Chain A
């Protein structure tokens, strides 16, 4: 996959090109191989390559990028032509074209790009609604899958809104509001307990009379409060006086007295005594104590009741609907909807739009004679408005010609959806409202990353970038891989999440992704890897490092890998599986994965008519997979790209299609040796890791590109190259810490600004 839309260059461009872009290798190549078909009115494919000076190339940029792609793929000039360019010639041609483009990009006017209104995707919608209403169910479960654009499911262009989804939005908002706002008054829970069941426990409660005698100390029940709120305690009682003194009782919570009562009534007129208290979540003794015990004096108790909390609605909702009860209904509707719109529309409330909401709310309030009905209707409008469903970045400032800063409120939204996949919290919105978000940006980004909610970034960005998401549809051949199970699939996924989570929450080096010396395993995965304990000692062998704790159960523990050929994503079963076929490993897919996802230099797609490799060789010939690959590579149409791909891919051959270690491949010895173009030898996963570390800025650049695409929700353009370079530079200076990359990205023009008027009309 190419991150830069419209450009398909394989050649990696180092920064700091010479000021003039020489065109050697370009003209000669075009004249020798292209011009014959691509000139004049009858040019093949309407592609004219008659002029190849700088301006001409830039003018037809896409056509030239395309030509480079086709030349590199080996399908231009057509295979039928006898005179074929050499690899070096193609390389020269490609570099010459790319130099012209790179130079132009360097001098190009800065452009933050255009991000169309971004619809919330399924994940964002669910998280946002949960935050707004405090509900705990997923209203987005029924939504159609979000399409992927530029590798991610949060791409503004590809997130479309078909009627089916609008229908679901309406239904989801209705059902969410139905759950939280009940128009009938909700009665608080009432717990009624006959006195015979109060403590201290009776030996035979079945035989007890309906009124129980309290002659000393107390009767009580133990109760676990789960919701904070106001509760009422009641007892039905009468008194048996002695010495002219009626019994005196106290209602107690723990040892705290809520009220004293003198029971001067008798069995003919028992009465209910009650007291109120605010209780917080914990286990409590709720009781009735006799204050003046004495011979024949008793309090007679029929039952006890606990009612509460008085307002059973969850806290979020109570806050949402908090309004002075004495206000007129209309005013309540107005106030509640105004503050809800502020939250739901992420600080961007348009007065006219709000008026529309309130007008309908008040209408409904009058029709149903219920201010809650009005509020509910208004909220439904707010949740179905494009201001909620999309992130629209409009504001009232006059448009300018030059790129200009997003408002702080818009920035708050971008930040929050980038790092949390949900709506900005009140702290962000308040800072933005006061115009203090930009000056406190570093602190805020650190806070957001540390928060539990940054799990969203861990679960949404990394697995999509590294294709671990594909694990969901991975179905290995059961006959060949009987050990595969759903718990193993889950464990593979979790291992990856643990690493990414550590990098995000604890601000580790992004290089951990390729070179961590530790991982997280549960028993299932440790068995799969053949690892015995948390010091990475192999199973079934005497430990090399003493003192390891065995890995048992479902819990994931951190494991130091020592000599194990794992660590980082390269040794993860999740990655090794998604780059395999259902029946066998695929060195090609693995090599391609490294080139594409980690180094950002994907090989072009294969030319047509190339057969896949056999699962098992035909005709009884016993060749290893590698020998068969070499045959395949003898085909000149394939060899170019395969040299690199195969060398990197074969290095992983010691891992089977499930990522477990193996010592043979269906009877053949494992051969994980290869040679990269240029002569560098690669054998085994550790050599790939070393190769990646030698190219760590390429890796960092790839990650920065992907993170940028994810953060701003659009494909990158040549104008973004400078931004990416700046992020890489800042990451390097920041010791490759994840926060350094994130902060540089957030401070970049692409994240921070929007396009001015003139560039806008030009696209």
Chain B
């Protein structure tokens, strides 16, 4: 949506305010261009913490996949949709003079290609993440511009990694360099966001009222903004930005068809078992794409540096403790078990999407779903040669069943630019990107 129409939309609601420019709202990157009559492209990114056991991940040969490495066996059934990328680097996850904190940086740099500012809370700063760039290009086609989900909420206490605020190690999506987007962990609430709470006869009336309420508070907030110190305005800008976002979404919803009828019941609560929790999140993500409720999603399987224990896999140790394996074979085996479990979740997502017909192929054929970690080996904390896989895209010109080896130090952000392009979003740079990759 161009600057002009956005402002018009606001004026139409009776508010005309000087809009502070926010990266997330600076939607000048152009809209997604999808040829008429074709199913839309969906993009998603899944994250696993603490790196992986690379010998079980990386295929031995380049090109067409032969026997799949142990961890990738989870994708046997859909290997035609699988592309494994090795050699990619998240340079901004490296210290670059900032000292320890590889976990916090690994997640915060993953989709942004930006170096997180080392702070325990004051002046949080990273960069806009690729999913939010995608959301700004194609979010207006759907009721939700993007969906951010995860299985672990933010941390409960303390700083999380060597002087980095917990925001960094718990957040994958950044609406702007200064605005991390929290993930929704409760399946019931995700369900509500996708499909609405219930049939609401008074919805029209409520929306009318909401509009007037938001108009009124927006005027007031703009007034307050003028009265606080320059440095304090950022908080009020966040407020204004969020209010505007809701207004835009309401305006959009009026033009879109009503939410699709979900094929599953509303989940009751967060399942106690981690695996069930993840499976439920996968099911909801599939539904979100299937019903075209959103076309962009991020999914954090566990926060970076997570020390969760996987007792149901007979791995009672903490994941992070284990990842510092010191080449101990027993520990590496346990890590591989955790990796296989996580990959299985990703595989479940792929398999489910592949089972849904859409257009002249499957839903998976119209998705590009990246999976990986911002750490390669959790012991060394190295951020080159990252474990990255992409599922889907067979109808988007992606040839699957392949292993692509990239030149050393190729920025991970280059792959993200390529994914954007497949979704019809032309963007020339993201974070530390240097160009476009072939996917």
Please, what's the 1-or-0 string for B202-232, where 1 marks a CB less than 8 Å from any CB in chain A?
Answer: 0000100110111011011101100111111
CB distance from A746 to the nearest CB of B (A): 22
Q: Are A608 and B102 in contact (CB under 8 A)?
A: yes
Provided the pairs A2-B163, A45-B97, A477-B309 are in contact, do residues A386 and B231 lie with their beta carbons within 8 angstroms? no
Question: Which B residue's beta carbon lies closest to that of A44?
Answer: B97
Provided the pairs A2-B163, A148-B157, A166-B239 are in contact, do residues A386 and B224 lie with their beta carbons within 8 angstroms? yes
CB distance from A239 to the nearest CB of B (A): 52
Give the CA-CA distance A653 to B190 in the complex, in Å: 45
Q: Which of B157, B162, B232, B242 contacts A464 (CB 8 A)?
A: B157
- Chain A residue numbers with a CB within 8 Å of B157 are 148, 151, 463-464, 467-470
- Chain A residue numbers with a CB within 8 Å of B223 are 350, 352-353
Please, what's the 1-or-0 string for A465-495, where 1 marks a CB less than 8 Å from any CB in chain B?
Answer: 0011110110101111000000000000000
In the complex, A356 has a CB within 8 A of chain B: yes
Binds B, one of A154-162, A425-433, A529-537, A559-567: A154-162
Q: Are A148 and B166 in contact (CB under 8 A)?
A: yes
In the complex, B183 has a CB within 8 A of chain A: yes
CB distance from B324 to the nearest CB of A (A): 4
Give the CA-CA distance A463 to B243 in the complex, in Å: 34
Give the CA-CA distance A317 to B144 in the complex, in Å: 36
In the complex, A53 has a CB within 8 A of chain B: no
CB distance from B166 to the nearest CB of A (A): 5
Q: Which of B148, B155, B217, B246 contacts A381 (CB 8 A)?
A: B217
Q: Are B182 and A167 in contact (CB under 8 A)?
A: no
Q: Are B122 and A47 in contact (CB under 8 A)?
A: no
Provided the pairs A161-B239, A394-B224 are in contact, do residues A470 and B181 lie with their beta carbons within 8 angstroms? no
- Chain A residue numbers with a CB within 8 Å of B321 are 581-582, 612
Give the CA-CA distance A609 to B119 in the complex, in Å: 23
| B window 305-334: CB within 8 A of A | 307-309, 311, 316-318, 321-322, 324-328, 330
Please, what's the 1-or-0 string for B125-164, where 1 marks a CB less than 8 Å from any CB in chain A?
Answer: 0000000000000000000000010000111111110110
Q: Are A469 and B156 in contact (CB under 8 A)?
A: yes
Q: Are A162 and B122 in contact (CB under 8 A)?
A: no
Q: Which of A70, A389, A604, A611 contacts B379 (CB 8 A)?
A: A611
Q: Are A148 and B122 in contact (CB under 8 A)?
A: no
Give the CA-CA distance A431 to B391 in the complex, in Å: 64
Give the CA-CA distance A2 to B97 in the complex, in Å: 19
Q: Are B316 and A479 in contact (CB under 8 A)?
A: yes
Give the CA-CA distance A116 to B148 in the complex, in Å: 27
Q: Are B158 and A151 in contact (CB under 8 A)?
A: yes
Provided the pairs A5-B122, A166-B243 are in contact, do residues A144 and B183 lie with their beta carbons within 8 angstroms? yes
In the complex, B362 has a CB within 8 A of chain A: no
Question: Which B residue's beta carbon lies closest to that of A364?
Answer: B209
Give the CA-CA distance A151 to B119 in the complex, in Å: 12
Q: Which of A148, A390, A480, A760 contacts B229 (CB 8 A)?
A: A760
Q: Are A69 and B99 in contact (CB under 8 A)?
A: yes
Q: Which of B124, B182, B232, B316 contacts A582 (CB 8 A)?
A: B316
Q: Are A114 and B236 in contact (CB under 8 A)?
A: no
Please, what's the 1-or-0 string for A362-404, where 1 marks a CB less than 8 Å from any CB in chain B?
Answer: 0110000000000001001100111101101010000000000
Q: Which of B234, B242, B249 contacts A116 (CB 8 A)?
A: B234
Give the CA-CA distance A469 to B221 in the complex, in Å: 35
| A window 104-126: CB within 8 A of B | 114, 116-117, 119
In the complex, A142 has a CB within 8 A of chain B: yes
Q: Are B311 and A160 in contact (CB under 8 A)?
A: no
CB distance from A531 to the nearest CB of B (A): 28
In the complex, A163 has a CB within 8 A of chain B: yes
Q: Are B163 and A611 in contact (CB under 8 A)?
A: no
- Chain B residue numbers with a CB within 8 Å of A73 are 99-100
Q: How many A-B residue pairs have CB under 8 A?
A: 253
Give the CA-CA distance A467 to B155 in the complex, in Å: 11
Q: Which of A46, A145, A149, A618 contacts B153 (CB 8 A)?
A: A145
In the complex, B189 has a CB within 8 A of chain A: yes
In the complex, A40 has a CB within 8 A of chain B: no
Give the CA-CA distance A475 to B101 in the complex, in Å: 24
Q: Are A149 and B165 in contact (CB under 8 A)?
A: yes
Give the CA-CA distance A156 to B238 in the complex, in Å: 13
Provided the pairs A360-B212, A605-B101 are in contact, do residues A117 and B156 lie with their beta carbons within 8 angstroms? no
| B window 371-385: CB within 8 A of A | 379-381
Q: Are A475 and B311 in contact (CB under 8 A)?
A: yes
Question: Which B residue's beta carbon lies closest to that of A380?
Answer: B213
Q: Are A386 and B220 in contact (CB under 8 A)?
A: yes
CB distance from A654 to the nearest CB of B (A): 22
Please, what's the 1-or-0 string for B229-272, where 1 marks a CB less than 8 Å from any CB in chain A?
Answer: 11110111011011101100100000000000000000000000
Give the CA-CA distance A119 to B181 in the complex, in Å: 16
Q: Which of B101, B239, B379 contacts A609 (CB 8 A)?
A: B379
Q: Are B159 and A714 in contact (CB under 8 A)?
A: no
Q: Are B245 and A5 in contact (CB under 8 A)?
A: no
Q: Are B120 and A394 in contact (CB under 8 A)?
A: no
| B window 48-67: CB within 8 A of A | none
In the complex, A583 has a CB within 8 A of chain B: yes
Q: Are B120 and A150 in contact (CB under 8 A)?
A: yes
27 contacts between A and B (CB under 8 A): A2-B120, A144-B154, A147-B171, A148-B160, A158-B165, A161-B235, A161-B239, A163-B175, A166-B243, A167-B246, A174-B206, A350-B223, A360-B216, A364-B209, A377-B209, A380-B213, A384-B217, A472-B156, A477-B311, A606-B100, A608-B100, A608-B102, A612-B326, A618-B328, A715-B120, A715-B121, A761-B229
Given contacts A46-B97, A147-B167, 13 further A-B contacts (CB under 8 A): A144-B153, A149-B167, A385-B220, A392-B224, A463-B157, A464-B156, A464-B157, A478-B311, A479-B316, A605-B162, A608-B381, A611-B326, A614-B328
A-B pairs with lowest CB-CB distance, top 10? A149-B121, A611-B326, A477-B316, A144-B182, A166-B242, A605-B100, A469-B157, A163-B245, A145-B153, A605-B162
